Structure 1
Amino acid sequence: MSDPEILIEQANNRGTFYAAVEQDERAAYFYLYPNEVLSSKYSPRPCWLRNLQPAPETRDVAAMKEGMAPMLEVQFCNHPQGKEPLQRERLSIVWLPEGDSAAVLYDGEVLGAIPSWELYTGEKAGSYAADCIDASEHSMTFPLGTPETNQLYGRVKAAMAFWEDWSDDTSQAWGVLQEQFITAYEAQWGKVVKYFAIDGDQWPPMGLGWFEQNDVVYLATMGVSIRPMPMVELIYMEEAPGFRRMELAMALSRKDFSDAEIMELAAIISGLADKPWKQLTWLGEGHTVAAAELPAPFESVVLSTALYNGAALQLPLAYSDKVNLFWLSPITQLEREFAHHKPNGGYDLLEKMIDGQINHVVTKRNALTFE
């Protein structure tokens, strides 16, 4: 028995996961597997695609004992006598924009899909194959069904349209979005004073605008919301469209911070802008993140929309989703520990900050005290 042949392999946008189709004389499989950094946290996820030989009557335990990918049992596949081998030139891979799930296409049609729904729960992940017609209690592959019965078809179609938006003339797509955000920010804080690219010459394009009003410098990102954040759908389910896209901002008092200090703090925003996709995580209300750039006694930032007490700010939608603008506010070690004292403790910290007259404008304030 020869080793499986890799027919196609492709990394997601940040190289956190790889997608591959492998095939030997017996079966073809689609896999998602993590990069080396994430390999201790996530396991490879398989998706059976087709048998190339007659299907076994019972579970292919013998193959698994030999370390080979098992063929699917005869009652669960639509080709009991096997199918012809897959041809590499007819295969393509579509990553969902979050970067934690993907589908493989054959002649443009969905052949198999591995969603992210079970990735973060620690349980065995399920996958979906077009040639699967049923599944046993032991199976990790389920019928893909039809567009009417399985939402994955719609998600893959939307992902294909998303990548098409950015495939050729990305400068045009970015120019429109960039202008929408600058217009929204300028309506609140006046003309943009400075602009910085914070994408590191990687897709997607992301920028940071510098605005000034009433002795306050406003730093706000644009382009971060092009991608939905990983994990959010698992947590918020049907309400995910209201939480999966973000931009980041800081408001800094001119009386407390020099231009040089403001530039150092801007590095915090730049570093957080890509964090969800580099680390397969998400950012939301009350989350805290360590930040070495902060002046003592601060050592972390807390993210919040609730701290903002300025005039209503209307951000453009991103692919019909609401975009949340999270304000970064420095906190001390004791404040961070308070936020972590129980699940969702960040909300308690934000309440105490608001009660203490702390809002989105960052000053060199006194630390909160806790009884």
Structure 2
Amino acid sequence: MGTTDVVLTDTSPYGSRMVTVEYEGASSVAYLRGAGGGIHGAVWLANHGQAPSSVDLDRLGRGQAPVMPRAHTRIPEGTPPFTSAELEVLWFEEGDGAALYRNGDLLAVIPGWADLERGMPGYARDAVGESPFAWSLEEALEGLAPRIAKARSYWEWRHGDGAWRSFQQFAMSHLDTRVGPPGRYWDIGGETLPTVGITERPLDEYTVLSTVGMSCQRMPTVEQYIDRPDAYARVELAVATRHEPAEAAQLFLWLARYPWHSITWLGHGHTARWYGDAAGFPLGRSYAGVLMLDTVPGLPDMSGFAFGGDEVRWLWLIPLTDHELQIAAERGHDSLGLSLPGRIP
């Protein structure tokens, strides 16, 4: 087996994915990896010598990177190897895919839906047609170019001075109008994005807690399940409680950064089972998890907020027992017949 040189490693702003560009003598490949190193997507980038007439199955059998056959490369004579100084990674806003540039020119794209097991590699500039190792970037640019442009625009804004503060004030003002004046505020951000806070809104009979910051970036994978991701890709979470708000706020420590760190999404009707000991569930030991609903009778209507051209949905966290979680998983949440106003713990 040949020696593999890792030319570039770049970790997403959320810390859950990384792109590596690897050189193996005859070719170079870019991989989309999880934080633990597992491969989630890959794309051939270039041959560094004459292209063969067919796929070298023996090479693949030895676990080596593929060399693109002549019929599927724009440069059959090959190109010089890449250097780290000439490569740049642009992450999608969601953090589940990335574009790779060489000296400012788009070289390849590995979207979040790339999946080698399903025969879906990434897109490469020098690829021709479709092969198991890369699909033509030129043929896919009509769909990918707007996504890439939005990603660059987003990160230029996000890394600019005052970006987070302006978003935070925008969201807080919306909640002032829809719920009422704020109480305490907790910052629950970590070393990686997303930056998220919790705002407390005391009302007469209960207190509303809401995240602030989840909707500052789109959730990953929504487009793989929803026809209109612009209406579902941005969310905030909320909970109503009659008990100590600081205890209920622990739900957000659990869920607020989960979509970007686990590359998934949260939506209406989704459930989540508490990860710890039942006695430690923030809304009472009789419950085992939560149901997420975008509308709950009797609770404030949070609608009307938008960011980045997308509607923002607030998902209320409704506590469920272990038995109710099982029913929701088997038959859907509508079968529970919950008295939602009575579910304010």
What's the Cα RMSD here?
2.1
Is this contact kept in 2: 1:245–1:321, CA < 8 A? yes
Q: What does 1:288-299 align with in structure 2 at a 5 Å threshold? A: 288-291=271-274, 292-299=281-288
1:93-242 alignment runs, 5 A limit: 93-119=89-115, 123-136=118-131, 139-145=132-138, 149-169=141-161, 172-237=162-227, 239-242=228-231
Report the residue type matching 2:171 in the other structure: F
2-structure distance, mates of 1:332, 1:44:
35
Residues 1:52 and 1:126: Cα distance change in structure 2 (over 3 Å): same
Counterpart of 1:202, as a letter, is T
Cα 1:140–1:85 change in 2 (3 A) is closer
Instruction: Look up the SS of the partner of 1:156 in the other structure.
Output: helix
Q: How far does residue 110 in structure 1 lie from its aligned partner after superposition?
A: 1.3
Report how far residue 248 of structure 1 moved.
0.5
1:329 Cα offset (Å): 1.1
Q: In 2, are the aligned partners of 1:285 and 1:347 still within 8 Å (CA)?
A: no
Residue 330 of structure 1 aligns with an amino acid whose one-letter code is P
TM-score (normalizing by structure 1): 0.85
Shift of 1:205: 2.1
Counterpart of 1:70 in structure 2: which amino acid? P
Structure 2: segments with no counterpart, 5+ residues: 275-280
Work out whether residues 220 and 263 of structure 2, in 8 Å CA contact, stay in contact via their aligned partners in 1.
Answer: yes
Give ranges in structure 1 of 5+ residues lacking alignment: 365-371
Going from structure 1 to structure 2, the CA distance change for 1:228 and 1:285 (only over 3 Å counts) comes to same
1:81 to 77, 81, 87: 77
How many residue pairs are counted as aligned between the two chains?
A: 339
**Corresponding residue number in structure 2 for 1:10:** 10
The CA deviation at 1:362 is 4.3
In the alignment, which residue of structure 2 is the partner of 1:266?
249
SS in 2 for 1:251: strand
Change over 3 Å in CA distance of 1:324–1:308 after alignment to 2: farther
Does residue 67 (structure 1) correspond to residue 63 (structure 2)? The answer is yes
Contact 2:34 2:40 survives alignment (8 Å): yes
| Aligned mates of 2:316, 2:219 — CA distance in 1 | 17
Contact 1:219 1:251 in 2 (8 A): yes
Aligned 8 A contact 2:23 2:29 in 1: yes
8 Å Cα contact 1:224-1:247 kept in structure 2? yes
Q: Provide the C-alpha distance between the structure 1 equivalents of 2:94 and 2:297, rounded to a whole number of angstroms.
A: 27
Deviation track 1:20-77 (CA, whole Å, cap 9, x = no partner) reads: 11113211111112233x84xxx44221111110110111223212321121111111
> Paired residue for 1:24?
24
C-alpha separation in 2, matches of 1:30 and 1:219: 42
Determine helix, strand or coil for the equivalent of 1:241. helix
Report the equivalent of 2:335.
348
Partner SS state of residue 221, structure 1: strand
The CA distance in 2 between the partners of 1:165 and 1:308, in whole Å, is 37
8 Å contact from structure 2 (residues 209, 240) kept in 1:
yes
1:170-226 residue CA offsets vs partner (Å, 9 max, x unmatched): xx1112111111111111332211111111353332111111122321111111111
Q: Is the partner of 1:298 in helix, strand or coil? A: coil
Check whether the contact 1:181–1:315 (CA below 8 A) recurs between aligned residues: no
For 1:228, the aligned partner's letter is R
Query: What is the one-letter code of the residue matched to 1:54?
Result: Q
2:262 aligned with 1:279, yes or no? yes
Counterpart CA distance in 2 for 1:162 and 1:146 is: 25
